[in-house]
Chains A and B, each alone.
Chain A
Amino acid sequence: MPNAQTDDRDLVAQFRNEHTKNSAFSMILQRYQKKVYWHVRRIVINHDDADDVVQNTFIKVWENLEKFREDSKLYTWLFRVATNEALLFLNKKKAKFNTPIDEMDYSLLDSLQSGSYFNGNAAELKLQTAILTLPEKQRLVFNMKYYDALKYEEMEEILGTSVGALKASYHHAVKKIEEFLKKD
């Protein structure tokens, strides 16, 4: 039975063939849309924003997959495209509201606390609030490690950051979250 990686290579090959391009793209969508969505959702928090970013991500995939060099796995490439799109979206949003890039985006906290498509319990809400207090890079690393269960090597391919730096980021993120949760 072919593994997922082989299947992904086949899908990329099929995508490069004009006759099988549409069906290959459809299979990529079916296979990865949820993983990409939840990854993006944890970055942008709001469902409607996540929906926009996910759609833009897959449009970018459609436009650029032929140029994919296959020096990384398809899903890490997809996550990289999605992460870039999500960060680009957040930066545009910050620029729109004149929020400094490095500063915490309180609109994300508002989205979370308004309860729009969020029905987590008190503990989940508190944890998500703690995660939102992290600097952007640490937040990304924490989410990818804790929720997406990605390996550091995969995160290195996605974020272009060394494994050592990623481990340090995750360590700092966990410490900060622990401190936040202990405060109350």
Chain B
Amino acid sequence: MNFNEEHIDENLLGKPSGGFDVPDRYFETLQKNILNKTSENGFFVPDEYFETLEARIQQRIPKGKVIPLNAAIIKKYMIGVAASILFIAGLFLIKNKTSNTIPTPIYSEVNVTNLSNEDILNYVDVEDITDSHIGETALNTNDKTQKQVEDYLLNNVDEELIID
């Protein structure tokens, strides 16, 4: 190789390191690499990566009150279950109330004087009042007032009406 003057000038001007070489575009990226640390131990990142990273993260962040998806679904299920329970319980209560309540219009027309002896006997046959709670209560009440009733009858009832 002939080292003419022109060639020497080219070497000196183009390669000021005196023969040492650097990769293409090394000096263009050196400052950026140092300032932005876009390369580390052989790993590197695309151009402008760190400049845009924050914006991309900010875009993905839900602003305002964050409710995790699972919690939102569980909450909806809980509301649904609670509503179903209330609905079923409501239906059950209404049904019970309807079946236990004796229709008012019928009883409004019922009068003791209207009842025949047969009706009363049928009622007594059907309803064993001595076994019922109401019956027991009534009997207890009668026990307490039995003395007063006997006294009243003895003092006020006409003796001719007393059947032996």
The interface stretch among B3-11, B13-21, B52-60, B147-155 is B52-60
What is the size, in residues, of chain B's interface with A at 8 Å between Cβ atoms? 21
B32: Cβ under 8 A from any A Cβ: no
CB closest residue in chain A, given B41:
A124
B76: Cβ under 8 A from any A Cβ: no
B128: Cβ under 8 A from any A Cβ: no
List chain A positions with a Cβ less than 8 A from chain B: 22, 25-26, 29-30, 33-34, 37-38, 41-42, 47, 51, 54-55, 58-59, 62-63, 117-121, 124-125, 127-128, 147
A-B pairs with beta carbons under 8 A, tally: 66
Q: Which residues of A contact B63 (CB under 8 A)?
A: 22
Shortest Cβ gap from B22 to chain A (Å):
13
B45: Cβ under 8 A from any A Cβ: yes
In the bound complex, do residue A117 and residue B57 qualify as a contact, i.e. CB atoms below 8 Å apart? no
Q: Which residue from A22, A30, A117 sits with its C-beta under 8 Å from B44?
A: A117
In the bound complex, do residue B60 and residue A120 qualify as a contact, i.e. CB atoms below 8 Å apart? no
In the bound complex, do residue A125 and residue B42 qualify as a contact, i.e. CB atoms below 8 Å apart? yes
With A29-B54, A34-B37, A58-B57 as given contacts, are A121 and B43 in contact (CB-CB < 8 Å)?
Answer: no
Q: Which residue from B36, B42, B46 sits with its C-beta under 8 Å from A119?
A: B42
Q: Which residues of B contact A41 (CB under 8 A)?
A: 40, 43
In the bound complex, do residue A33 and residue B42 qualify as a contact, i.e. CB atoms below 8 Å apart? no
Q: Which residues of A contact B66 (CB under 8 A)?
A: 63
In the bound complex, do residue B54 and residue A128 qualify as a contact, i.e. CB atoms below 8 Å apart? no
CA gap between A33 and B45 in the complex, in Å: 13
In the bound complex, do residue A34 and residue B42 qualify as a contact, i.e. CB atoms below 8 Å apart? no
Shortest Cβ gap from B20 to chain A (Å):
15
In the bound complex, do residue B56 and residue A128 qualify as a contact, i.e. CB atoms below 8 Å apart? no
In the bound complex, do residue B61 and residue A59 qualify as a contact, i.e. CB atoms below 8 Å apart? yes
In the bound complex, do residue B43 and residue A55 qualify as a contact, i.e. CB atoms below 8 Å apart? no
Q: Which residue from A42, A54, A58 sits with its C-beta under 8 Å from B43?
A: A42
In the bound complex, do residue B60 and residue A118 qualify as a contact, i.e. CB atoms below 8 Å apart? no
In the bound complex, do residue A34 and residue B50 qualify as a contact, i.e. CB atoms below 8 Å apart? yes
Q: Which residues of B contact A118 (CB under 8 A)?
A: 42-44
CB closest residue in chain A, given B36:
A34
Q: Which residues of B contact A55 (CB under 8 A)?
A: 53, 56-57, 60
Shortest Cβ gap from A67 to chain B (Å):
12
Q: Which residues of A contact B37 (CB under 8 A)?
A: 34, 38
In the bound complex, do residue A119 and residue B50 qualify as a contact, i.e. CB atoms below 8 Å apart? no
Q: Which residues of B contact A128 (CB under 8 A)?
A: 41-42
CA gap between A117 and B38 in the complex, in Å: 11
With A55-B60, A59-B60 as given contacts, are A120 and B53 in contact (CB-CB < 8 Å)?
Answer: no
